[in-house]
Amino acid sequence: MPYSTTARRAALRRIAAAAAAVASLSPLLSTTARAAEPQVLRVSAIPDEAPTELQRKFKPLGEYLSQATGMKVVFTPVSDYAAVVESLATRKLDLAWLGGFTYVQARIRTGGTAIPLVQREEDARFTSRFITADPAIQGLADLKGKTFAFGAPSSTSGSLMPRYYLQQAGIQPERDFKTVAYSGAHDATVAFVAAGKAEAGVLNASVWDKLVETKKVDPAKVRVFATTPPYFDYNWTVRGDLDPAVVQKLKAAFLALDAARPEHKAILELQRATRFIATQPENYDGIQDAAKAAGLLK
């Protein structure tokens, strides 16, 4: 039997009411779904080693930070040092492993808002090692007229601080070396020197020690002939407008890492750290002064 006009109107009212009820629930359902999804912490690091090595080193640390913060931790390797600085400044990254000079660059690029959170205890007295396979090279003065390899141009331990100390010793690389090359990474510098692509080079002490321990370099063939004085270097930096509650959770998680606990010891060993300690912007003022003296900052 066909519906009467009154019946049709009643049916339409019921359909409209049901649709309105569903619509009223939609924001709540959407909010609930969003709340169920973990917040993402976006992390990267300066590419001072091969991307596969950086990923390997970060994996257990990322899992630990995820547990400590309740966030999904995503590590994204980048192609160069400048990309990390720019990504922090444009809010594409939340947390980054930086060298001392890269932090200074990030501090300048972000108008002083980037926050150095923690550093390894070893980073308070970091050094660089000058290496060679040439028996005639016994000291810095012997580098004159030789081919030389730095790491990446923005590397603190592979470029800036070695350059600064060379200048303190009266050596101007572009004037006094036969050629100056940039390998791009610390392990690549060792490969350059081992293969004879450069008669000497410089890299950070931590990577050198790791390569020797893992027998990826033969110290009888490639040797250390000089070491820089100590300086502040690496740190974990957060962008300045990251949620303060997240910042505190991250800092507490790093400081809680304890080598006496087996699960923490594995993380610390991969980071080549005995423990993490708090750091502050003032620690890197000397790096900024050295960069200005070396002509790398105005």
User: What is the SS3 assignment for 178?
Assistant: coil
Residue 65's H or E segment, with its range, is helix 51-69
Q: What is the mean pLDDT of residues 102-106?
A: 97
pLDDT of residue 35: 45
pLDDT for the residue numbered 17: 56
Specify the pLDDT at position 223. Answer: 98
Asked whether the predicted pLDDT for residue 100 surpasses 90, the reply is yes
Average pLDDT of the residues of the chain: 90
Please give the distance of CA 142 from its chain centroid, rounded to a whole number: 34
Mean pLDDT, to the nearest integer, of 64-90?
A: 95
pLDDT tens string 219-270: 999 999 999 999 999 999 999 999 999 999 999 999 999 999 999 999 999 9
Q: What angle do CA 255, 261, 262 make, to 5 degrees?
A: 125
Task: Report the sign of the C-alpha dihedral through residues 141, 144, 149, 150, in that order.
Answer: positive
Decide if pLDDT at 16 tops 80: no
What percent of the chain clears pLDDT 70, i.e. is strictly above it?
87
Q: What distance in Å separates the CA atoms of residue 88 and residue 95, rounded to the nearest whole number? A: 8
Is residue 229 within 8 Å of residue 166, measured between CB atoms?
no
Q: How confident is the model at residue 1 (pLDDT cuts 50, 70, 90)?
A: very low
Q: What is the pLDDT of residue 51?
A: 87
Q: Compute the distance between CA of residue 173 and CA of residue 194 in angstroms, rounded to an integer.
A: 21
Is residue 259 within 8 A of residue 276, CB to CB? The reply is no
Tell me the average pLDDT across 166-187.
96
Please give the average per-residue pLDDT across 197-221, as a whole number: 96
Which pLDDT belongs to residue 4?
Answer: 55
Residue type (1 letter), 282: E
For residue range 258-289, what is the model confidence (pLDDT) as tens digits?
999 999 999 999 999 999 999 999 999 999 99
Over residues 47-56, mean pLDDT:
89
Name every residue whose Cβ is closer than 8 Å to that of residue 203 and which is 6 or more positions away in sequence: 128, 129, 131, 151, 157, 158, 186, 187, 189, 190
pLDDT band at 121 (very low <50, low <70, confident <90, very high): very high
The confidence score (pLDDT) of residue 256 equals 98
Q: Is 181 helix (H, G, I), strand (E, B) or coil?
A: strand
Whole-number pLDDT of residue 11: 52
Mean pLDDT confidence for 136-146: 97
CA-only gyration radius of the chain, Å: 26
Task: Report which DSSP code applies to 96.
Answer: E
Split at pLDDT 50, 70, 90, the class of 48 is confident
240 φ, ψ (degrees, to nearest 5): -65, -25
What is the bridge-based pairing of β-strands 235-238 and 115-120? Answer: antiparallel
Task: Give the integer Cα–Cα distance in Å for 112 and 76.
Answer: 24
